[in-house]
Amino acid sequence: MKAILGLALGVLTAIGGFVDIGDLVTSTVVGSRFGMTLVWAILVGMVGICLFAQMSGRVAAISGRATFEIIRERLGDRLALANLGASFLINLLTLTAEVGGIALAMQLASSIQPMLWMPVAAFAVWIVIWRVKFTILENVTGMLGLAIVVFAVAVFVLQPNWLDLGMQVLQRAPVHSSESPATYWYFAIALFGSAMTPYEVFFYSSGAIEEKWTKKDVSQSRMNVLVGFPLGAMLSISLVAVAAIVLLPQEIAVTSLYQVALPVAQALGTVGLIIAILGFVAVTFGAALETTLSSGYTLSQFFGWPWGKMVRPAHASLFHLTMIVSLLIGLGILMTGVNPVQVTELSVVFSAVALPLTYLPILIIANDPQYMGKETNGKVTNFFGLIYLGIILIAAVAAIPLLIITGAGS
Amino acid sequence: MSMDKRGQRLAVAGAVALSIALAGCSAQSTQYGQLAQATGTAASAAQSAAYTLSLHRLRDLIGPVTDTGLSDSMTNLQQAADSLTGMTLTGAARTAHDDLLKHVRAAQDAVLRAQAMLQIHSDSPVASARQALEHAAQALSLRESDLKAKE
């Protein structure tokens, strides 16, 4: 019974933890401009994150060591430094977007300007990391994040023309002829990048070490990933769908977080709206915790500093200092007055650029018997791993030119 | 020989005239592109504000969401207005610009009116502001399509 409860909790946490500010914004922007035509990019990204998250969880459970520690040992300082640089900077950008997202969500609940919420949000993230146990932190935010299910409910309440919606999924061109093919592909990469955000993998594998996973936890980890993440992706698709049903016909292009919530208000009234706002706060806060911890994990694991929530702060001072400095940098960026939604849009595209440096080392280590023993990747996993490396490379190469050509999708 | 020279001169003159015409067309096309982008932003902001007010009328929104919606729409309309006023345009694009700015200003006025009415909890004038916003959004959307066709 305890095992079943543990499994259910893991799956539910994975569902709630899949969506973050990047998914909220990118999915709704895409739905409002392209209808359902880009849903395939979410599905491709979902398979990719399942593949690499279960791989990194297995590496952590079998070797008992953290990702960056092994990467540096196995691939040498240069490649590991490139990996660290790209991952850390993208993580910092994502952290900035998540803290901004908390502030935007709190504005919807209070009318108070986001600029005033930003320091409060950053402080709240720090205090929770400092005081709250890892499992509570992970499970509570994951469970509250399930409030986003309200978007899936809204899809049915809105009673769309299912045939029309289904036809859009199969369509290979923008619904509106005014959208250029370059913009279409730019947003395909953004959706892919938001599904495969690197921090999800660092947090997942480091969490495995924090929770002291062993070989016997591998199957539960696989279940969490293979059931939880696809259901989380369904939430992203629900976000696209409600925007396609409500915002696209009215030609409302999403530029603010409040617009994400409007279709739910139409479908379910104020109760639905309040649940959606609660979901926004939960998913952005949860992701802010994960990205802040990931910034500490990446640097500490690379440099071999003591790290982890289980270690007393006095013994892991550099780990905690890294997180505090990262939060302050993120806050500093936001206090310049930059629009958090634009930071989010940029963070998902730059995530795509950094993906090869994040995922190639994981694939190499998961194939190394020195670390994995008999638990190295099978042929099927390697086949898909290589296909995904190809997709990741194409996305990484195309991201910046498309960003420039489309003026960041404008 | 003189015929060759004359032919060369004609070819050069033709090429220059073609270049000037193409450059003129290209500049005009860029101007229409800029106008279309600002118009699209304004149309979307106006429509978004109108939709927010219609949900507010049905009591589907909570106060902070309506406030945020109107304030964000105002910001986007202001950005579009700033972008339009900052453009240096010539010919037909100039005429189009003045017409667009008129509709953006009308949308801004409607948002301001709605914000003021909501502060004193008066609903009926909000309905007229919503209608004004829908009208402005429709007009801007039509003009955006025209501008994109000319781009």
Q: A6 vs B102, which has greater pLDDT? A: B102
Query: Which residues of chain B neighbour A107 with C-beta distances below 8 Å?
Result: 64, 68
Q: Which of A258, A269, A270 sits opposite B72 (nearest CB)?
A: A258
**Residue B48 confidence (pLDDT):** 95
Q: Is B54 on the interface with A (CB under 8 A)?
A: no
Q: What is the pLDDT of residues A349-385, one digit of tens each?
A: 888 888 888 888 889 889 988 888 888 999 999 999 9
Among A263-272, A393-402, B95-104, name the one with the lowest average pLDDT.
B95-104
Given an 8 Å threshold on Cβ–Cβ distance, is B65 in contact with A178?
no
Residues in A 275-294 with any Cβ partner in B closer than 8 A: 277
Instruction: Indicate if the alpha-carbon torsion angle A81, A84, A88, A90 is positive or negative.
Output: positive
Query: Which residues of chain A neighbour B64 with C-beta distances below 8 Å?
Result: 107-111
Q: What is the pLDDT of residues A246-258, one digit of tens each?
A: 999 998 989 899 9
For residue A269, the chain B residue with the least C-alpha distance is B60
**Residue A249 confidence (pLDDT):** 92
Structure-block tokens of residue A180: 């250029």
Query: Which residues of chain A neighbour B66 with C-beta distances below 8 Å?
Result: none
Mean pLDDT of chain A: 88
Least Cα separation, residue B61 to chain A (angstroms):
6
Q: Is B39 on the interface with A (CB under 8 A)?
A: no
pTM of the model: 0.87
Can you tell me the mean pLDDT for A202-212? 83
Amino acid at A252: I
Given an 8 Å threshold on Cβ–Cβ distance, is B63 in contact with A111?
yes
Helix pair A67-110, A114-131: axis angle to 10 deg = 140
Q: What is the pLDDT of residues A340-350, one digit of tens each?
A: 888 888 888 88
**Residue A7 confidence (pLDDT):** 64
ipTM surpasses 0.95: no
The count of CB pairs under 8 A between chains A and B is 66
CB-based contacts of A141: which residues, under 8 Å, 6+ apart? Answer: A16, A17, A282, A283, A285, A286, A289
**Residue B23 confidence (pLDDT):** 53
Structure-block tokens of residue B65: 């969401």
Q: Is B143 on the interface with A (CB under 8 A)?
A: no
Amino acid at B142: L
Tell me how far apart the alpha carbons of residues A343 and A98 are, in angstroms, rounded to a whole number: 9
Structure-block tokens of residue A51: 């593949």
Q: Which of A108, A250, A266 sits opposite B68 (nearest CB)?
A: A108
Tell me how far apart the alpha carbons of residues B94 and B104 are, in angstroms, rounded to a whole number: 15
Least Cα separation, residue B47 to chain A (angstroms):
6
Structure-block tokens of residue A295: 């910034």
Nearest C-alpha neighbor of A290 from the set A209, A201, A220, A222: A201
Q: A70 falls in which pLDDT band (50, 70, 90)?
A: confident
Structure-block tokens of residue A4: 């079943």
Which of B39, B65, B145 would you mutate first to test chain A, the one with the most A CBs within 10 A? B65
Q: A308 falls in which pLDDT band (50, 70, 90)?
A: confident
Nearest C-alpha neighbor of A202 from the set A289, A270, A97: A289
For A95, A308, A351, B105, the CA distances from A89, given in Å and listed in that order, are: 10, 20, 9, 41
DSSP structure class, residue B88: -
Q: What is the pLDDT of residues A389-409, one digit of tens each?
A: 999 999 999 999 999 998 888
Given an 8 Å threshold on Cβ–Cβ distance, is B47 in contact with A252?
yes
Judged by phi (left if over 0) then psi (alpha if -120 to 50, else beta), residue A65 lies in beta
Q: A163 falls in which pLDDT band (50, 70, 90)?
A: very high
Q: A161 falls in which pLDDT band (50, 70, 90)?
A: very high
Q: Is B62 on the interface with A (CB under 8 A)?
A: yes
Q: Is A410 on the interface with B (CB under 8 A)?
A: yes
Least Cα separation, residue B62 to chain A (angstroms):
6
Least Cα separation, residue A92 to chain B (angstroms):
26
Q: Is A183 on the interface with B (CB under 8 A)?
A: no
- % of chain A with per-residue pLDDT over 70: 94
Is the pLDDT at B2 greater than 60? The verdict is: no
Query: Which residues of chain B neighbour A115 with C-beta distances below 8 Å?
Result: none
Q: B126 falls in which pLDDT band (50, 70, 90)?
A: confident
Given an 8 Å threshold on Cβ–Cβ distance, is A251 in contact with B141?
yes
Can you tell me the mean pLDDT for A89-105? 93
Query: Which residues of chain B neighbour A261 with C-beta distances below 8 Å?
Result: 65
**Residue B92 confidence (pLDDT):** 77
Query: Which residues of chain B neighbour A108 with C-beta distances below 8 Å?
Result: 64-65, 68
Can you tell me the mean pLDDT for B80-109? 87
Nearest C-alpha neighbor of B80 from the set B102, B65, B95: B102
**Residue A355 confidence (pLDDT):** 85
HSE-CB for A219 with a 13 A CA cutoff? 3
Q: Which of A107, A253, A277 sits opposite B44 (nearest CB)?
A: A253
Tell me how far apart the alpha carbons of residues A9 and A259 are, in angstroms, rounded to a whole number: 31
Mean pLDDT of chain B: 83
Can you tell me the mean pLDDT for A124-143? 87
Least Cα separation, residue B46 to chain A (angstroms):
9
Least Cα separation, residue B1 to chain A (angstroms):
49
Can you tell me the mean pLDDT for A225-233? 86
Q: What is the pLDDT of residues A30-64, one digit of tens each?
A: 999 999 999 999 999 999 999 998 888 888 888 88
Q: B17 falls in which pLDDT band (50, 70, 90)?
A: low
**Residue B1 confidence (pLDDT):** 46
Q: B70 falls in which pLDDT band (50, 70, 90)?
A: very high
Q: What is the pLDDT of residues A185-203, one digit of tens each?
A: 999 999 998 888 888 888 8
**Residue A228 confidence (pLDDT):** 84
Is the pLDDT at B104 greater than 50? The verdict is: yes
A23, A195 contact by CB (below 8 A): yes
